[in-house]
Structures are given as C-alpha cells and as structure tokens.
A and B are shown apart, each in its own frame.
Chain A
Amino acid sequence: MDSKLKDLLEKKRSELVSKWIDAIISTYPKDPSGMLKNKKDRFENPIGHTITNVTQNLFQALLDEKSFTDCKQLLDDIIRVRAVQDFAPSKAVSFIFMLKNVVREELGKEIRQNQIYEEIFKFESQLDDLALFAFDIYSGCREQLNQLKTDELKRMTFTLLKKANLMSEIPAQEFEHKELKFNL
C-alpha cells in the first residue's frame, strides 16, 4: 500500500473505524437504547462486541495487507452472526463495502489534495475481493444451518431406526481381521 494512503488511514484510524461501526450498526432495527453501540460488556452485548472487535482488527489487517486467509477468522466471527439474523445475503456481507463509503467521506479532501486516486482504487479493489471471500464464508454458514437440521433429525431418530431394525451399524470388531484379503 502506498505510504501516503497508509499514513492517512492510520492517522484517521479511530474516526474511520468508529464510522464504520456506526454504519454496520445502522443496518439493525432502529433502537433508542443504543445497546449495540454503547454497552461494552462482551457477554451482554455479543453483537456489538463482535462488530467492534472485527472492524478494529480487520482495519489493521487491511493496513498490514494481510492475506485473506489471515482475515478468515475475523470475517467468520461477524458473518456467522449476520447469517442468522434478518438480513438478505447481499446485506449480510454489505458491511465490507461500507468501509469504502466511510473512507471516501472521511478522506475525500486528502485524497484530492494528495492525488492518490490510484491507491484508493487499489484499496477499494482489495475490499471488493474481500467481499467475495466473505460471501464464500456466508454461504458456508448457510449450508451449515441446513446440515444442522439434518444432524438434529438423525440424533432424534437414530435410536428408533436401530430399534426397528431399519438401520444398523457395522460393529467395529468386524474389521478386526482386516488383514484377510478377499480372493476375487
């Protein structure tokens, strides 16, 4: 990353992250209590804590130009939450694109003065790629939700099926003589 853009992002880090958090929180229903933003206890406000933690660390990872694989856990933390909330798929991963708007609004003047459009394009392209990567994680979460339903049904009924002789497991000891070869 160009050092000028990096300096700017670092200098304005707290404003940028704070606005990014605000933008993400604004996707939740309007809430006069402001819990998601204001409540600091990580156990009593796990959504707010996840958003704050992920945005801060993801911002740093972007500055450090870490690989997407290094960002996977962070993205998973927030997407796993949004994948089960009332969001359309596009909206669930929209939080990454929000950083673009925040940076444009906060650093617009500096970008013009320093003529660093090319760097901004690169930075934004990086965010686009990150969003695609995020969508893979989102799809994984959604697939897992379906898998959970199947697994739960199996747990509920497996004993019954065994009992009714509709299903049987091959006991482990049948493989004790695995050295025997079949002569086909």
Chain B
Amino acid sequence: MAKYKLPKPGELSSSINYNPPAKDWMDIPVEFKPATYPAAAKEKDLLTVGFPNAHQWTPEDEDWNLPDGWEDTVIKGIEERLSKYRSFKLFMDVCVRCGACADKCHFYIGTGDPKNMPVVRAELLRSVYKRYFTKAGKVLGRLAGARDLDADVLKEWWYYFFQCTECRRCSVFCPYGIDTAELTIMGRELLNLLGLNINWIAGPVAACYSKGNHLGIEPHALKSNIELMIDDIEDITGIRVNPTFNRKGAEILFVTPSGDYMGEPGIYTCMGYLMLFHELGLDYTWSTYASEGGNFGFFTSNDMAKRLNSKIYAEAKRLGVKWILGGECGHMWRVLNQYMDTWNGPADFLEVPVSPITGTRFENAKSTKMVHITEFTADLIKHNKLKLDPSRNDHLRVTFHDSCNPARGMGLFDEPRYVIKSVCNNFFEMPENTIREKTFCCGSGSGLNATENMEERMRGGFPRANAVKYVHDKHGVNMLANICAVDRAAFPALMDYWVPGVGVTGTHELVANALVMKGEKERTTNLRGEDLPGKEGNE
C-alpha cells in the first residue's frame, strides 16, 4: 500500500479557492439550482391552446426530450421573426457594446451574474444569430462572437430569458434605444416553439383561453367572489353597492386583472373600485367573459397575446358600451397601450372616452378607447367630485412604487401620485434613481411570480426593496402603494424578507378608505377590518 502523506493545514487551506472560474461567459454552463427557476410548463396547458411540441420535461433533467430537428425549428423561427419584426433585426445588428445598459438590470444588480447584464442576455441570442445569419459569424465563428446552437445554449436561453421580467429599465439607458425586453420576448417565443415554457405562464394562458381569466374563475364564481366583497363593504360602511354583470347598454365596461378577484391584498383594491363606482353612480358593468385585463399570452407569443386580448373589444362591442375603463395592472397596460389597437383595433364602434362625472375628454385614449383608472380618479379629484377624508389613512406612511409597465410603457407617473397624495397625508418618495422611468422592478413580473422560484424573486427584487428600506429607515414608511396586481401578489413576500414592517396596497384601496360615501355609517375600520386611527377599541 502506497504511503499517503497527509497535507499540512496550510496546504489544505491554500487549496480552497473561493473564486469562481474565470472563464468566458460562453464556456460557463448553466447550473439549475432549486428555487432559482420556475417550474416547466405542463403538457396539458400547451395542448389546450394548440402550442407546438407540448411534452413532459423538467429543467433539472439532463435530457429535455426535445423534438427531432429542434435546431431547424429554432433557426427557422429566428429567420421568420427577423423578416417580420424590423426591431428584432435592428437590435441584433446595432448594439455597439457601450455598456450603458450593463448595470441597470435588477437581476444583475441583485446577483452580480454578468449573464444578467442586458447586453449579455441579448448576446445569448445574438451569438446564435451571428453564427447562422451573418457572414462574419459563419466564417470566423467564435472570433466574431458566434456560436453553434446546441442543447446547452438552449438551456442557457431558458434560464436567462426566464430571469428577465421584461421591465425595460435597461432600454431607458440605451443610446440606440435597444429594448432588451423585446429580445427576451423573441427568446421566449423561440423556446415556446419547442414546448419549453413555464408553468406559471402556460397555466394562466390556458385558463384565460378557456375561462376568460388567468385564475380560471368561472362566471358564477366571479360573481359570488364579488358578492363576498359587497357583504364586507356593507359591514364596514353600511352601504350595499350594486354592481352589474354582462349588462348590455351600460356606458362603460370595466376590465381589471383577475388578481383583484381573490387573494390578499388584491381584493381590497377591488373593493375600492366597487365603492368608488357606486359613490359616483357610474353606469358601468363588469364582464365575466372579458374578466381579465392582464395577458400572460404576451409572455408566450405575439399571436397568443393577440388572441387573448381580442375578448376585450369583442365584449365591448357585444355589450354596446361607449368606452372601457381599466383597473390597476402592470403589463396589462403595456399591452393595451402599445399593442391592442394594432392587434384588434380599430375600435371604431366605441367613442372617445368622456368622464360622465366631469365631462373630461380623454384625448390620450382616443384611439384605444380605454382609460386607466388612476387617470379617471385623478380627474375626479381635480374637479372636486369626491369627498375625501385623508386622515383615515393617517396611520400609514406611504411610498409609491412605479409599476414598470405603466411607467415605462405609457408614461403614467403623476396621476397615481396625485391620487395618493389626495387621500394620504404622509407620502414619501423613494430616491430619484429608483422611481418614475428609472423604477426598479418587483422582480416577479412577466410571469415570474411563481412560488417555487422564491430565491430568484428575492434577488431580482432586492434593488427595489433596498430603496423601500431606505425610506422605511429614514421616514418610517410602512406602506408600499402600487398600481399592479403582480406587485400586490409579489411584494408582500419581498417586503417580509427585506423590509419587515412594510405592507402592500393598491392605490384604490387607499382611495376607498378615505372616500366619504353618501349615507355611510361612521366607519371604525378600514377595508382590511383594522381599526381606523382614533377609532381603536370601537366595535
């Protein structure tokens, strides 16, 4: 037996290398660690909507059961999209790697992983584009930054394209206006061609296609959910609100994300809408068919997004309304504001929205015919149409998170702030480079707000939480207001982890708590059943 010499302690410790390998990004394969990625799409959900290559697989499997000839499918997919979308072709060619976007992504800032730099995320796809679609890449290969498409590349795409929330913060800083979110969108479309989507997206898409909303709530359940809220509103205010459903001839159709129908704290925002509309005597209707404003189809393919979106105009037409009012949601508004008109318009059967209360004509919505609820409410407040008692929110010290899509997708910065400041006496802004068009994402957008990828969400949301922590420490902020259903679903966990003691609220929950309704009884609690300031101990 060979004599084995034990190493000395010094030799042992010097053999431990804390440093990660210093390799080129192309040579570092993806490692799937639990809780850092979402679960794979289920075959049944893809089949429901007719997506190609539905099959069973899991990300941690060595073999993803890819269909025969998958490489051709992807290359042809790229070719088709290059010819269809000029922006895609431009974004592939125009980047000069100036690095302006590099440190702007919340996932990069929260992980320090260079593959989360928007420029590198784009390069994951660009390297394949170069190899198959540019002369330099075909001839020079890796020297020109090109590489072959293989299963490892595909896994890398999947890991990093589902580690981008399409929030578009990086695009604000790109001197060429490259929208890396669009590259993620292309990447996800290509993966979708192979049946490689995620469960948290594919499930809601299938539910929305068959039931009208992401949560799969059927008409009777939607109605009874809202009736539960009506009971709670009556307990708190003494007033029974009386919304209508699928009512033909109503003036306005109201569409909101289904996250508002169940789950806390989304339902309180929904109660806020109900109370506001009742107080105004608004001639409006809910729809159990167009029961979803959000559009997870947008995270699968352009065609699916268009299909799921079409029900909004179709329902407006069927009911014969004049215009559409939309609730608090994030990506819903990017889709409505930037895509709906082109996909399913022109909505020439609708009228340019005019507030029946103030007479304000919403010129900004004259094409889509759909108004954001904070624009609508801000206009009401500006015209003194609401009786408000902001002191009911005096126990709150509020900050506002600009939800990425309304902020960067439609420039909605001031209306929500105006509304919040009108209904709350204590409002504090987060630092300038973390709000408005530079807002940091919640880390859970674009279908990433699953539960199994909690660590991924905590990393991605760290920059946002870090700014909330600052105002929490400095001003005692204890409430994070927003205008997005995903924010309302995802922020409670993010706050509990990074900034305990900060709650999460939709803007219209704050409005409804401050709203003094005609004939209401003396309120002692807010919509959550918590004592109002100065009313503690009342029953």
A149 contacts partner chain B, Cβ-Cβ < 8 Å: yes
CB of B172, distance to nearest CB on chain A (Å): 13
CB of A99, distance to nearest CB on chain B (Å): 13
A60 contacts partner chain B, Cβ-Cβ < 8 Å: no
CB of B203, distance to nearest CB on chain A (Å): 13
- Give the distance in Å from the alpha carbon of A43 to the alpha carbon of B438 in the complex: 11
Q: Mark B10-42, 1 if CB is under 8 A from A, else 0.
A: 000100001111110000100101011000000
Within 8 A of B (CB), among A85-141: 85-86, 91, 94, 98, 101, 141
B336 contacts partner chain A, Cβ-Cβ < 8 Å: no
B interface, by DSSP: helix, strand, loop or mixed?
A: helix
CB of A125, distance to nearest CB on chain B (Å): 15
* Residues A98 and B18 in contact, CB atoms below 8 Å apart: yes
Within 8 A of A (CB), among B483-523: 489, 492-493, 496-498
- CB-CB under 8 A from B113, the residues of chain A are 28-29, 86
CB of A52, distance to nearest CB on chain B (Å): 14
- Give the distance in Å from the alpha carbon of A127 to the alpha carbon of B492 in the complex: 35
- CB-CB under 8 A from B13, the residues of chain A are 101
* Residues A27 and B20 in contact, CB atoms below 8 Å apart: yes
Q: Mark A36-63, 1 if CB is under 8 A from B, else 0.
A: 1001011111110000000000000000
* Residues A44 and B99 in contact, CB atoms below 8 Å apart: no
- Give the distance in Å from the alpha carbon of A145 to the alpha carbon of B498 in the complex: 11
- CB-CB under 8 A from A148, the residues of chain B are 454, 493, 496-497
- Give the distance in Å from the alpha carbon of A43 to the alpha carbon of B539 in the complex: 44
* Residues B20 and A29 in contact, CB atoms below 8 Å apart: yes
* Residues B33 and A86 in contact, CB atoms below 8 Å apart: yes
B458 contacts partner chain A, Cβ-Cβ < 8 Å: yes
- CB-CB under 8 A from B262, the residues of chain A are 156, 159-160
* Residues B462 and A46 in contact, CB atoms below 8 Å apart: yes
A168 contacts partner chain B, Cβ-Cβ < 8 Å: no
- Give the distance in Å from the alpha carbon of A162 to the alpha carbon of B459 in the complex: 33
B153 contacts partner chain A, Cβ-Cβ < 8 Å: no
* Residues B19 and A145 in contact, CB atoms below 8 Å apart: no
CB of A80, distance to nearest CB on chain B (Å): 7
* Residues B451 and A145 in contact, CB atoms below 8 Å apart: no
* Residues A145 and B455 in contact, CB atoms below 8 Å apart: yes
- CB-CB under 8 A from A47, the residues of chain B are 109-110, 112, 462
Stretch from B284-292, B412-420, B421-429, B463-471 at the A interface = B463-471
* Residues B18 and A84 in contact, CB atoms below 8 Å apart: no
How many interface residues does B have (CB within 8 Å)?
Answer: 53
- CB-CB under 8 A from B18, the residues of chain A are 23, 26-27, 91, 94, 98
Closest residue on chain A to residue B22 by CB atoms: A30
- CB-CB under 8 A from B109, the residues of chain A are 35, 44-47
- CB-CB under 8 A from B332, the residues of chain A are none
Q: A30-B22, A159-B228, A159-B267 are in contact. Are A149 and B454 (CB under 8 A)?
A: yes
* Residues B225 and A159 in contact, CB atoms below 8 Å apart: yes
* Residues B228 and A43 in contact, CB atoms below 8 Å apart: no
How many interface residues does A have (CB within 8 Å)?
Answer: 46
Q: Mark B471-488, 1 if CB is under 8 A from A, else 0.
A: 000000000000000000
A152 contacts partner chain B, Cβ-Cβ < 8 Å: yes
- CB-CB under 8 A from A81, the residues of chain B are 462
* Residues A156 and B434 in contact, CB atoms below 8 Å apart: no
A165 contacts partner chain B, Cβ-Cβ < 8 Å: no
- CB-CB under 8 A from B114, the residues of chain A are 29-33
Closest residue on chain B to residue A35 by CB atoms: B103
- CB-CB under 8 A from A91, the residues of chain B are 18
- Residue of A44, A84, A149, A155 ringed by the most chain B CB atoms within 10 A: A84
- Give the distance in Å from the alpha carbon of A27 to the alpha carbon of B18 in the complex: 6
- Give the distance in Å from the alpha carbon of A145 to the alpha carbon of B434 in the complex: 25
B538 contacts partner chain A, Cβ-Cβ < 8 Å: no
A144 contacts partner chain B, Cβ-Cβ < 8 Å: yes
- CB-CB under 8 A from A94, the residues of chain B are 18
CB of B37, distance to nearest CB on chain A (Å): 12
Closest residue on chain A to residue B459 by CB atoms: A84
- Residue of B112, B462, B496 ringed by the most chain A CB atoms within 10 A: B112
* Residues B451 and A43 in contact, CB atoms below 8 Å apart: no
A179 contacts partner chain B, Cβ-Cβ < 8 Å: no
7 extra interchain contacts, Cβ-Cβ under 8 A, other than A84-B497, A163-B225, A173-B539? A31-B114, A33-B117, A39-B103, A44-B109, A44-B433, A94-B18, A155-B263
- 12 A–B contacts, CB within 8 A, in A order: A33-B99, A36-B112, A42-B466, A43-B466, A44-B104, A45-B103, A46-B110, A47-B462, A86-B33, A145-B35, A149-B451, A156-B262
B residues lining the A interface (CB < 8 Å): 13, 18-23, 28, 31, 33, 35-36, 99, 102-104, 108-114, 117, 224-225, 228, 262-265, 267, 431, 433-434, 451-452, 454-455, 458-459, 462-463, 466-467, 470, 489, 492-493, 496-498, 539
